């Protein structure tokens, strides 16, 4: 409970590569979509590094937004599920990375939780695509390892952050080319991870941004090699940004506000905290 909050975030990256020749393409080359998330990719990272030829190309030939506004709470799980459901967090129900449901008293939700009943009833972009007869594959995304409305994406994997980014790209391109998938989603846990360790201005973080440019380059090149670059619309975006903390002026110690001897458990902390009071103590938890 005494830990400082790690991130406060408002803006993030959005770049779109439009399939340029969709209209003139042969009928068989139906347009496809790839949605790429690079976690914690702050909106201005590209202005802080020089060596990003692939992003530069997308910025030059595609469409970009100076910033976009994400949903609160600005955490990986809620924001990613908003992206694929179009719903605010209170409507899709994934309101934090860690949650507790007092009504059912079922197990706590953690980022590794895939029990279907946390994810019910909210149509995702891949469920919509599959209902429309399209083929969708997801190389990691929040919710993709759970059955939503009874279905999973046609291809999916249990989350494993150790899978090299290159392997994720290569598999996704195979789905789009050899298997003729219409929709592909792919998730990378960087530059978020390095950003948390080194801060948004950190050398290692900016190096990681350059590495992600190389991963984007691999995706573009593989699509080009398989003659798909003109039929795939690529959206590169992120779930949230990253701000440096300052433990002197930006730290709220919740013990100044709640009587921590009455707290049974801390479920989530950060820009938003979630506390469980001891039995019958909810009303005396807050200092007045």
Ligand X SMILES: *[C@@H]1O[C@H](CO)[C@@H](O)[C@H](O)[C@H]1NC(C)=O
Q: Which stretch binds ligand X (CB under 6 A): 91-99, 170-178, 197-205, 254-262?
A: 254-262
Q: How far is the CB of 215 from ligand X (least distance, A)?
A: 15
User: Residue 210: CA atoms inside 13 Å, Cβ hemisphere, count?
Assistant: 10
H/E stretch holding 139: strand 136-139
Identify which of residues 261 and 283 has a Cβ nearer to ligand X in the complex. Answer: 261
- Name the residues annotated as catalytic: 76
Query: How far is it, in rounded angstroms, from Cα 233 to Cα 66?
Result: 19
Q: Does 59 bind ligand X (CB under 6 A)?
A: no
d(CA 201, CA 104): 43
Nearer to ligand X, 26 or 280 (CB): 280
Question: In the bound complex, what is the minimum distance in angstroms from residue 146's beta carbon to ligand X?
Answer: 36
User: CA-to-CA distance for 99 and 126, rounded, in angstroms?
Assistant: 24
State which of positions 256-275 bind ligand X (CB under 6 A). Answer: 259, 261-262
d(Cα 42, Cα 48) in Å, to the nearest integer?
A: 11
Parallel, antiparallel or unpaired: strands 11-12 and 68-69: antiparallel
Are 124 and 148 within 8 A, CB to CB? yes
Site string for ligand X, 221-240 (x = CB under 6 A): x--x----x-----------
Token pair for residue 139? Answer: 């190389």
Which one, 22 or 262, has the nearer CB to ligand X? 262
Which residue, 189 or 221, has its beta carbon nearer to ligand X?
221
Q: Which is nearer to ligand X, 6 or 59 (CB)?
A: 59
State the nearest-atom distance from the C-beta of 281 to ligand X, in Å: 7
Q: Provide, rounded to whole angstroms, the least separation between the CB of residue 101 and ligand X.
A: 26
Under 8 Å between Cβ of 252 and 52: no
Task: Locate 269 and state its tokens.
Answer: 């902390």
Nearest-angstrom CA–CA distance, 282 and 280: 6
Size of the site for ligand X (CB under 6 A): 7
Rounded least distance, CB 29 to ligand X, Å: 16
Q: Which stretch binds ligand X (CB under 6 A): 10-18, 84-92, 195-203, 255-263?
A: 255-263
**DSSP-derived secondary structure letter, 18:** P
Binding string, residues 186-225; x marks residues near ligand X by CB under 6 A: ----------------------------------xx--x-
C-alpha Rg value of the chain to the nearest Å = 21
Name the residues that contact ligand X, by CB under 6 A.
Answer: 220-221, 224, 229, 259, 261-262
């Amino acid at each position: 409970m005494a830990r400082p909050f790690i991130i406060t975030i408002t803006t993030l990256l959005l770049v779109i590569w439009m399939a340029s020749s969709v209209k003139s393409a042969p009928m068989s080359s139906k347009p496809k979509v790839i949605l790429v998330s690079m976690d914690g990719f702050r909106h201005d990272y590209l202005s802080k590094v020089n060596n990003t030829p692939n992003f530069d190309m997308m910025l030059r030939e595609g469409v970009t937004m100076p910033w976009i506004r994400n949903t609160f709470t600005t955490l990986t799980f809620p924001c990613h599920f908003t992206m694929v459901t179009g719903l605010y967090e209170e409507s899709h129900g994934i309101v934090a990375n860690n949650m507790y449901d007092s009504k059912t008293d079922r197990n706590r939700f953690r980022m590794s939780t895939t029990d279907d009943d946390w994810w019910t009833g909210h149509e995702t972009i891949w469920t919509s695509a599959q209902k429309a007869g399209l083929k969708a594959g997801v190389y990691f995304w929040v919710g993709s390892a759970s059955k939503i409305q009874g279905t999973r994406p046609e291809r999916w994997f249990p989350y494993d952050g150790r899978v090299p980014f290159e392997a994720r790209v290569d598999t996704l391109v195979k789905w789009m080319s050899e298997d003729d998938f219409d929709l592909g989603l792919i998730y990378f846990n960087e530059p978020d991870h390095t950003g948390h360790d080194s801060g948004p201005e950190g050398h290692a973080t900016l190096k990681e941004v350059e590495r992600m440019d190389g991963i984007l380059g691999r995706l573009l090149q593989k699509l080009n090699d398989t003659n798909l670059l003109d039929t795939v619309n690529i959206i590169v975006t992120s779930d949230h940004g990253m701000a440096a903390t300052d433990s002197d002026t930006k730290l709220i110690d919740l013990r100044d506000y709640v009587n921590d001897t009455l707290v049974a458990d801390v479920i989530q902390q950060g820009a938003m905290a979630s506390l469980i009071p001891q039995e019958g103590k909810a009303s005396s938890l807050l200092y007045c």
